[in-house]
Amino acid sequence: MKNKIANVSVTTIVWALAGGIFGAIYTGLYQVLLALGLDGWQALVVGGAIAAMTTAAFYGSMPVALIGAMAGMLGSIGALMVVGTSVDLPVIIGVCAVTGLVVGLFHSWVLPSNAGPLGVILTGLAAGSGAGALMAWFLTLGLIARPAGPFVIAAGIVALVGSLFQLTRPHILRACFAWMPRAAGTPMVAALIAAVVGAAVGIMSGSGLSIAGEAYHLFGEVPTGFVGGMVGGAITGALLELLGVPLEDEIEHNL
């Protein structure tokens, strides 16, 4: 009984911290997507997918995610230096993705890896997009009172993403280990992270956009999203631990 209480307590704290970080990232991204002209449900789905994939990349393979982030910084800054702020955002994203792919191929050649990192980001994609779609559906049905504030949205998204991630991860990882080439994981993860970082740099620099000066308004709700994410993460982590859902990464060692 004491061990169970200790496990639930530790899981609750860890998931609360992770949920707070994810909630803050998602809230800022959601506000940016709305400012870019996406509809409410589109911002929920796209924001959930991007935030979950990015977070899962660091969770699944920190070194690969870090080199992808550096490639994104170098690619975006290089594009801005050569062309200037008139460069279109898709161009920056494309340059950064190619840079991340090249760096990832080199890393994979020097330090061979497996398909695990790719499986984790695909799990993040499935969990994030699924959570965004479910949240939009709940809002449409009126199960969540409108207008839903950032606290409620962040708490709900974190709870849904965390649950879907843990439930779908074993199946997606097994499929990736069985069907994906071993060398495909690192380059694709690095390219994805580089593209996301490049998009963030391009948006903040105002490349072909008119929202660069609205940063204070766009990110003013991030602290509220952080608190909401903490609440959603703490409740979800405690429930999953009580229900006996495995929360450890054992699949990679068994395959």
Has residue 219 got a pLDDT over 80?
no
Query: How far apart, in whole angstroms, are the C-alpha atoms of residue 161 and residue 236?
Result: 10
Per residue in 140-171, is it b (16+ CB within 10 Å) or e — as a string? eeeeeeeebebbbbbbbbbbbbbbbbbebbee
Model confidence at 145, in pLDDT bands (50, 70, 90)?
A: low
Has residue 81 got a pLDDT over 90?
no
Structural element, H or E, at residue 238: helix 222-243
Q: What are phi and psi of 86, to 5 degrees?
A: -75, -10
Q: Please state the rounded mean pLDDT for residues 38-53.
A: 88
pLDDT score at 254: 47
Q: List Cα–Cα distances, 164 to 130, 169, 225, in angstroms.
A: 8, 8, 20
Domain extent listing, the chain: 2-254
- List of long-range contacts for 150-153, beta carbons under 8 Å, 24+ apart: 150/27, 150/30, 150/221, 150/224, 150/225, 150/228, 151/224, 151/225, 151/227, 151/228, 151/231, 152/228, 153/27, 153/30, 153/44, 153/225, 153/228
Has residue 209 got a pLDDT over 60?
no
- List of long-range contacts for 90-93, beta carbons under 8 Å, 24+ apart: 92/198, 92/199, 92/201, 92/202, 92/207, 93/195, 93/198, 93/199, 93/202
Residues 6+ apart with CB under 8 A from 218: 28, 31, 32, 35, 211
pLDDT score at 126: 92
Model confidence at 250, in pLDDT bands (50, 70, 90)?
A: very low
Q: Please state the rounded mean pLDDT for residues 35-57.
A: 86
Is pTM beyond 0.85 here? no
Q: Which amino acid is at 57?
A: A
Instruction: Please tell me which of 136-140, 141-145, 178-182 the model is most confident about, judged by mean pLDDT.
Output: 136-140
Q: Please state the rounded mean pLDDT for residues 171-190.
A: 81
The more confidently predicted of residues 61 and 1 is 61
